[in-house]
Structure 1
Amino acid sequence: MSSLAAAALRRAVTASGSRTLSISGAFSPVSSRLFSADAAAAEAGSQGDDSFLKPSDAGLIYGRLYSPTAGGNRLGKNVLKTDIIHHLDKCELSPEDVKIDYNRGYYPMAALLKFPSKESFNKAARQTGRMYRLERASRELWEQKPSLDGKAVLLQGVPRNAQADDIERFLSGTNYEPPPFESFIRPGIPEPIRVVLVRFRTKADATNAFIAKNKSFCLNNPVSMRVIQ
């Protein structure tokens, strides 16, 4: 073989070996395993971060507490959230775990409760006694019911001819939210009663207004007040 042919053969073999090494290195099992492991770790880390950031309500139990009466299920109109929490003192409830379920006339029908666990719900069921009944409720019911959270007061017995400025004069000296006020007529004896809902900026403002103005007069009519929870 001539020296020229031998040199050409050596170049061909060298080029072929280089290509083979390059291809096998790019698609080697070791590289594939490393890539898959890194991707899996990244995905697991991402899922871990998401689950950490999203609060879980797993284990929460919702209930509806009411007092059975001959006229239907009701909750005493003067019952406070704190009364319910003290009554169910073994259940680890806070004011944020209690909502009062009112009907359209703002009569309290029941208390919606959020328990931290099934065990807490079972403790409440044992503590209700004869005075109340406790039944399971859905999370949807809890979320759909708004809570005025003690920042509103119901004025009962407002004269039917009273205007917004008359009500504002009645509320003079309190930190109420300006009109429009929510007003409606409720059945009463001997005649229907006009009721007005007034919102306040804080719970303390609503409580102070109740203390200062309950049983005061609006256009010569005595007006009773009730804080709405």
Structure 2
Amino acid sequence: MSMLSAAALRRGVASLTDLSSRLAVSLPASAQLFSAAASSEAATSAAGSQDDDSFLKASREGVILVLLHFPLPVRVFPVACLAYGRFYSATIGGSRLEKNMLKTDIIHHLDRCGLSLDDVKIDYNRGYTPLGALLRFPSKAAFTTAIRQTNQNRLYRIDEISRDVWDLKESFDGKAVLLQGVPRNALLDDIERFLCGTNFESPPLENFLRPGVPEPIRMVVVKFHTKTDAMNAVITKNRSFCLNNQVSMRVLQ
């Protein structure tokens, strides 16, 4: 081979080597540029898709919680759990109560039984003498506790009664007043003048006679609008005179 041919061959090989080197250097850069562009394009596409997704958009803006207020359940005792009893004195001869005993006195006496004013009804006879008190207990256990409490002091007794006895008994609830000693010849106008200044309900009034000595005693039941009205009437009018008779007054419970 001539020297001219060898030099040409070496020059061609060097050119090929130089081209390969430049390709090797440029290929990673191109791949990197292509990869970065693809990643940027993919991120832009993903961001665009998230912007279009209303659910994801709402998630970025925040979550709104709606709190609903529901009233607490009212405590109601099942009818089957209730118990009923009759409370009366064991020391005054027979099934009776003291005339001046109040519902609150009974509740305080049975302070471990969970009774309220609505759970007590005073049992009157036809002459409005209190014979006892009808009680409604929230449970059988409360009724048993009441029996134990009454047995401890032995002043009172409790007998079990049915619900029908409780339902049939009327409760005056402190809104009625018993007038005792009203003159037998007193007219309705005379009674209204006696009650002047009190907030009593309009007639008719309940009139009846109770046996007495030397003659029967006339009694009148007057109803008032509220407990306060009834109590104020007793405070202001008790022992006042209707015609020539002194009239005593007592709140009916």
TM-score, with length taken from structure 1: 0.74
**Which segments of 5 or more consecutive residues in structure 1 lack a partner in the other structure?**
1-53
Structure 1 residue 192, shift from structure 2 partner: 1.4
SS at match of 1:217: strand
Tell me how far apart the structure 1 counterparts of residues 94 and 110 of structure 2 sit (CA, whole Å). 23
Equivalent residue, structure 1, for 2:89: 67
Equivalent residue, structure 1, for 2:148: 126
Aligned-pair identity (%): 68
Tell me how far apart the structure 1 counterparts of residues 77 and 107 of structure 2 sit (CA, whole Å). 25
Structure 1 residue 190, shift from structure 2 partner: 2.8
Equivalent residue, structure 1, for 2:189: 165
Q: Does 1:77 align with 2:99?
A: yes
Equivalent residue, structure 1, for 2:221: 197
Structure 1 residue 194, shift from structure 2 partner: 0.4
Tell me how far apart the structure 2 counterparts of residues 80 and 124 of structure 1 sit (CA, whole Å). 17
Q: What is the RMSD computed on CA atoms of the aligned residues?
A: 1.6
Equivalent residue, structure 2, for 1:38: none
1:21-40 aligned within 5 A = none
Q: Does 1:90 align with 2:117?
A: no
Tell me how far apart the structure 1 counterparts of residues 92 and 182 of structure 2 sit (CA, whole Å). 30
**Native 8 Å contact 1:186 1:194 kept in 2:** yes
Q: Does 1:225 align with 2:249?
A: yes
Equivalent residue, structure 1, for 2:11: none
C-alpha deviations, 1:95-146, integer Å up to 9, x for none? 0000001111111111000001111111111111311110101000000001
What letter matches 2:247 in structure 1? V
**Native 8 Å contact 1:150 1:206 kept in 2:** yes
Q: Does 1:212 align with 2:212?
A: no
**Native 8 Å contact 1:101 1:109 kept in 2:** yes
Tell me how far apart the structure 2 counterparts of residues 81 and 68 of structure 1 sit (CA, whole Å). 18
Tell me how far apart the structure 2 counterparts of residues 89 and 191 of structure 1 sit (CA, whole Å). 43
Equivalent residue, structure 1, for 2:172: 148
Equivalent residue, structure 2, for 1:138: 162
Runs of 4+ residues deviating >4 angstroms: none
Structure 1 residue 55, shift from structure 2 partner: 7.4
Q: 1:102 aligns with which of 120, 124, 149?
A: 124
**Which segments of 5 or more consecutive residues in structure 2 lack a partner in the other structure?**
1-75
Equivalent residue, structure 2, for 1:117: 139
Tell me how far apart the structure 2 counterparts of residues 187 and 165 of structure 1 sit (CA, whole Å). 25
Structure 1 residue 69, shift from structure 2 partner: 4.9
Aligned residues: 177
What letter matches 2:166 in structure 1? W
Please tell me whether Structure 1 or Structure 2 has the larger radius of gyration of its CA atoms.
2
**Native 8 Å contact 2:112 2:145 kept in 1:** yes
Tell me how far apart the structure 1 counterparts of residues 108 and 215 of structure 2 sit (CA, whole Å). 38
Tell me how far apart the structure 1 counterparts of residues 169 and 179 of structure 2 sit (CA, whole Å). 22
TM-score, with length taken from structure 2: 0.67
**Native 8 Å contact 1:164 1:180 kept in 2:** no
SS at match of 1:111: strand
Tell me how far apart the structure 2 counterparts of residues 132 and 156 of structure 1 sit (CA, whole Å). 28
Equivalent residue, structure 2, for 1:187: 211
**Native 8 Å contact 2:77 2:138 kept in 1:** no
SS at match of 1:143: helix
